[in-house]
Structure 1
């Protein structure tokens, strides 16, 4: 079982080619020198048959001795064809066509002649264009060469022996050059595909890192907003109550509530900042606690008639949903303390059932001109948090007066 899984994973991975050797690295750094050297070697090899034909007796070839008169012209054509190799990287198809022109010129030689020009040209097309282009080009070129040779042979211009020799020689050169070029070209295209794939992976990795950082910033902003906005709102409301009270004994509970709220806010802020400092800490784990009762107590301490009604059994509700419930209650109560005028009562209802949990926070006040919907980050962050938990949230005025925040969160699959 283990060996099978290892083999399947190995097949799915990209196999890297061997790094290029010293000679290949040198050719890659000096392409112009490589082309000059190839053209020179091709010219030297092609010149050997001309020298041999010119020094051998007249009666060794299939044509008469007067065929030697075409050797200078043929030599010029072959030399120009070899010089065309200098532009083989930029114009590979033009070089291939030139090589077949030289092959046609060989038909007029006094003896069967051939050179490596077609081999190099076919190799170049297979490497720098495609194996399919090389195959098509060789097919067309050999068809033209054979057709022209048959016409010349039928007219008695060349012998059948010279025709068959030219077709065999050029065919072998084309096959050898095409096979080598297909192998080298496939490897080059595979390496290029690997490089392109790795570049795309780097881009995707950077994009994912940016998205993750953005999501983390938004999550931290929500946490800091929930902690700071609620705590400061409660502390301001309590401080106003203490300032309005003329008796020190009557103001003592309010002062103690302010101190307790400040300590609670500091604890939550330390937990949030601890997430930023410690990369091994699970995100939001220190804050995944039920603060609903504390929120209701703070509202009562601020002078609001706050009622909490909980129905149903939460059961194995996951920590993310529990945290969302607490933040919904916190945000709803904070909006009442900050924006509702003439509010005296806050009703908080939490209902658990098999499908999930429903939360509502209502008040009997008059919403301000700039309602909680547009006043700040609170409701927007609340919608994002509820959306992450797979739920929905609505907020708006209710009849005849007051404001309502209602949300429904589905039960999540609990995974240990």
Structure 2
């Protein structure tokens, strides 16, 4: 579409020059005048891809024409040369640094020559400089605004990539960790109790299916034309699905109290992901633990989450404080909440999060 507009503009300038030349009484220098107009019009086609070359050729051609007007010929320019006004804008819009400086130098060399050739008044000379410098300033302003917008878009994309990485770690990592633990249990039971080992394989299959669903939901955000806001998200109700009986794998008990259904979706998603990560950490790291309790309590203004295992309450559990714990703390902070993780007073490791029912993002 842009290419057609460029061709239309260049063609219009050539047609205007030819028509103007035909309407003149003095056509002695017609080929030269039309030729200069054609050069300027042709240069407009390359103003985006080669701005310095376009400016150098167009203004160079007109400079030679103006020198000839001063020294040899007696002729006035054509309206088609007015296309020169577009080129300073293009130079600063699509060129930068040394390229822009050289192009401006060519323009500033041409300006005094053409103003002499036209025998203009002081006011007209000032206006001539003003027109071309304003065109260049406009190009620089548009370039700066476009680059600023591109930087903002890149920052948004980086934020989205970080969010996806966090969700992959928190959500999918939870399921994969459970699969790994179940597989270890199944291998240990394979020889002694084949039936229980088979039941473990069924659990692994179910966990793998949930993992695939999570992956498809997250990858949907990356597909062209997919609205991230429409992507299925976890909530408080899904925390109950973290529950599992004890046995070879650490048991998880979940209790939800209060009006949890009224929690804002963004807060519910954060609570689910924090709970899933905390359960995964307990499964991986809690020494001597037999179970994990997940308590969600929704009050009038806050939602409290506590995930606690009954393992050894030692500071060695600080191995939890890796990317997962940082991600949990960031989720709580971004929504205006708080998170604390550490050894519980009565034993075990505890993760306590408190979030507002309505997200308060900064």
Identify whether the pair has TM-score above 0.5, normalized to the shorter chain.
Answer: yes
Inter-partner Cα distance in structure 1 for 2:133 and 2:115:
19
In the superposition, relative to structure 1, how do residues 347 and 258 fare at CA in structure 2: closer, same or farther (>3 Å)?
same
- DSSP 3-state at the match of 1:288: coil
Where does structure 2 lack aligned partners over 5 or more consecutive residues?
Answer: 1-8, 15-35, 41-56, 73-105
Once residues 284 and 332 of structure 1 are traced to their aligned partners in structure 2, the CA distance between those partners, rounded to angstroms, is: 27
Aligned partners of 2:171 and 2:277 also within 8 Å? no
Aligned to 2:64: 33
* Residues matched between the structures, number: 277
Per-residue CA deviations over 1:281-331 (Å, capped at 9, x if unaligned) read: 43572233443112122x646543533232221243222211111111101
Q: Does structure 1 residue 385 correspond to structure 2 residue 331?
A: yes
Can you list the C-alpha shifts for 1:103-127, whole angstroms capped at 9, x where unaligned?
xxxxxxxxxxxxxx9x958x99xxx
Give the match's secondary structure for 1:279: coil
Match of residue 351, structure 2, among 394, 397, 405: 405
CA distance in 2, matches of 1:34, 1:364: 91
1:262: Cα distance to partner?
Answer: 1.5
In 1, the alpha carbon distance for the partners of 2:58 and 2:151 equals: 37
Shift of 1:205: 3.0
Which residues in structure 2 correspond to 1:182-193 (within 5 Å)? Answer: 182-193=126-137
Match of 2:286 in 1: 340
The offset of 1:374, in angstroms, is 4.0
2:228 partner SS: coil
Which has the larger Rg?
1
Q: 1:291, 1:326 within 8 Å by CA — same for their partners in 2?
A: yes
- Verify: 1:234 aligned to 2:178, yes or no: yes
Structure 2 CA distance for partners of 1:200 and 1:329, relative to 1, 3 Å: same
Which of residues 291, 296, 308 is equivalent to 1:362?
308
Q: Equivalents in 2 of 1:382, 1:279: separation in Å?
A: 29
Equivalent residue of 2:336, what SS?
A: coil
- Residue 162 (structure 2) pairs with residue 218 (structure 1): yes
Q: Secondary structure at the match of 1:30?
A: helix
**1:235-269 deviations in Å (ceiling 9; x for gaps):** 23223333444223344443322221111112212
Q: 2 CA distance for matches of 1:358 and 1:230? A: 21
Q: 1:268 aligns with which of 191, 214, 222?
A: 214
For the pair 1:256 / 2:218, whether they are aligned, the reply is no
Give, in angstroms, the shift of residue 31 of structure 1. Answer: 5.9
CA separation of 1:91/1:27 partners in 2, compared to 1, >3 Å: closer, same or farther?
A: closer
More displaced, 331-340 or 388-397? 388-397
Following superposition, the deviation at residue 401 of structure 1 comes to 3.7
Native 8 Å contact 2:220 2:226 kept in 1: no
Query: Is contact 1:295-1:330 (8 Å) kept?
Result: yes
CA RMSD of aligned residues (A): 3.8
1:296 matched to 2:243? The reply is yes
SS of residue matched to 1:351: strand
Unpaired runs of at least 5, structure 1:
1-17, 42-86, 96-116, 125-172
User: CA–CA distance in 1 between the matches of 2:315 and 2:209?
Assistant: 30
Cα distance in structure 1, aligned partners of 2:304 and 2:159:
26
Q: What is the CA-CA distance between 1:358 and the residue it aligns to?
A: 1.7
Greater displacement, 383-392 / 366-375: 366-375
TM score, norm. by length of structure 2? 0.63
Give the drift of 1:221. Answer: 1.4
* Deviates most, 380-389 or 184-193: 380-389
1:234 and 1:302 in contact (8 A); partners too: no
What is the CA distance between 1:347 and its match in structure 2? 2.2
Native 8 Å contact 1:242 1:251 kept in 2: yes
Where in structure 2 are the equivalents of 1:16-415 lying within 5 Å? Answer: 25=40, 28-30=59-61, 32-33=63-64, 36-37=67-68, 40=71, 89=108, 177-245=121-189, 246-283=192-229, 285-289=231-235, 290-297=237-244, 300=246, 302-366=248-312, 369=316, 371-375=318-322, 377-399=323-345, 401-412=347-358
Deviation of 1:337 (Å): 0.5
Q: Name the CA shift for 1:225/1:34 in 2 (closer, same or farther; >3 Å).
A: same
